[in-house]
């Protein structure tokens, strides 16, 4: 399956979801919304209708007023509208998505609320080539998107590039206990439904560290089974830090001990 075929299949699926009224999950194990309550924000109903995430990346971070949060694959904008209320008027919440219909839908939602979300922006773009300046972002979040990318190394390198020093990468994503067979990887429906493109936990950690991240942690939030294969996949929360190089070198012996819980 070529990169082009993957990108086309993914865009087709999410363009349909963006133009339909109802929500559809990646893999059928949608975020049940329980993570939304703890931050106390209001979520526009129009954004909840296209909730296609598999976790709650905002539970992993504590953004402060005035900070900048970027959501990779922001879809209908659910996590961005939430983040915008946490960072406030002097902060910024920027969603990036490659499907034009998702961006249009999210912008339409923003427009319905007048000035309420004036710190929100939705940019059309690919997460492998972010339309953002280097060292400009406090937090990268993402919810069930990176598994869809045909070039995950590029996604992690870009996330590292745009984060400020000590910036935090905090995402929800599908991860696998073991590699699925090559034949299953080539199932386009399964790829665009967030399974066939998923990384194993170990590969996730390896690629993040290769991109330059430290203190990588993976927590399994829920476990499901992959039809005919005798091993599970996980809805996971993944966190990593872009460390100050001097601090990272000083702590070198501890850095190889990532945690997979």
Ligand X SMILES: C[S@@+](CC[C@H](N)C(=O)[O-])C[C@H]1O[C@@H](n2cnc3c(N)ncnc32)[C@H](O)[C@@H]1O
Q: Which residues of this chain interact with ligand X, rule CB under 6 A?
A: 10, 14, 26, 51-53, 73-76, 78-79, 97-99, 102, 126-128, 143-145, 148-149
Nearest distance from C-beta of residue 160 to ligand X, angstroms: 16
| Cross-strand bridge partners of residue 139 | 69, 168
User: Taking the alpha carbons of 108, 94, 191, 52 in that order, is the dihedral positive or negative?
Assistant: negative
Nearest distance from C-beta of residue 33 to ligand X, angstroms: 11
8-state DSSP, 254: H
For ligand X, give the closer residue by CB, 149 or 236. 149
For ligand X, give the closer residue by CB, 98 or 170. 98
Q: 16 Cβ partners below 8 Å, 6+ apart?
A: none
| Cross-strand bridge partners of residue 240 | 169
Nearest distance from C-beta of residue 142 to ligand X, angstroms: 7
For ligand X, give the closer residue by CB, 141 or 243. 141
- The number of angstroms, rounded, from the C-alpha of 112 to the middle of its chain's C-alpha atoms is 25
For ligand X, give the closer residue by CB, 44 or 76. 76
Q: How many CB atoms lie within 10 A of CB 163?
A: 26
**Integer angstrom CA distances of residue 137 from 9, 63, 66, 153, 217:** 30, 11, 11, 19, 20
For ligand X, give the closer residue by CB, 145 or 238. 145
Record the tokens describing residue 221, joined without a space: 């939030």
Nearest distance from C-beta of residue 245 to ligand X, angstroms: 28
Nearest distance from C-beta of residue 191 to ligand X, angstroms: 10
Nearest distance from C-beta of residue 256 to ligand X, angstroms: 29
Nearest distance from C-beta of residue 246 to ligand X, angstroms: 33
Compute the C-alpha angle 215/85/152, nearest 5°.
40
Tokens 């501890």 belong to residue = 254
Terminal alpha carbon distance of the chain:
32
Residue spans of beta strands (DSSP E) within the chain: 68-72, 92-97, 120-124, 137-143, 163-176, 199-200, 214-225, 232-241, 259-260
What is d(CA 95, CA 110) in angstroms, rounded to the nearest whole number?
12
For ligand X, give the closer residue by CB, 71 or 215. 71
Q: 253 Cβ partners below 8 Å, 6+ apart?
A: none
For ligand X, give the closer residue by CB, 9 or 248. 9
């Amino acid at each position: 399956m070529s990169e082009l075929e993957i990108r086309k299949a993914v865009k087709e699926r999410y363009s349909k979801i963006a133009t339909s009224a109802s929500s559809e999950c990646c893999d059928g194990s949608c975020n049940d919304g329980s993570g939304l309550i703890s931050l106390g924000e209001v979520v526009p109903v129009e954004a909840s209708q296209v909730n296609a995430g598999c976790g709650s990346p905002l539970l992993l971070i504590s953004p402060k007023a005035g900070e900048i949060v970027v959501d990779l694959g922001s879809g209908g904008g659910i996590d961005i509208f939430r983040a915008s209320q946490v960072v406030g008027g002097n902060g910024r919440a920027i969603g990036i998505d490659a499907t034009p219909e998702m961006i249009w839908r999210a912008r339409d939602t923003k427009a319905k609320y007048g000035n309420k979300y004036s710190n929100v922006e939705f940019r059309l773009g690919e997460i492998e080539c972010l339309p953002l300046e280097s060292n400009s972002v406090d937090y990268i979040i993402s919810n069930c998107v990176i598994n869809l990318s045909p070039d995950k190394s590029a996604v992690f390198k870009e996330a590292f590039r745009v984060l400020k020093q000590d910036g935090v990468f905090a995402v929800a994503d599908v991860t696998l206990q073991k590699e699925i067979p090559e034949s299953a990887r080539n199932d386009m429906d399964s790829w665009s439904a967030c399974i066939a493109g998923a990384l194993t936990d170990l590969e996730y950690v390896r690629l993040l560290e290769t991109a330059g991240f430290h203190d990588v942690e993976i927590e399994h939030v829920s476990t499901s089974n992959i039809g005919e294969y005798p091993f599970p996949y996980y809805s996971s929360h993944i966190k990593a830090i872009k460390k100050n190089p001097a601090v990272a070198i000083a702590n070198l012996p501890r850095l190889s001990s990532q945690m997979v819980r």
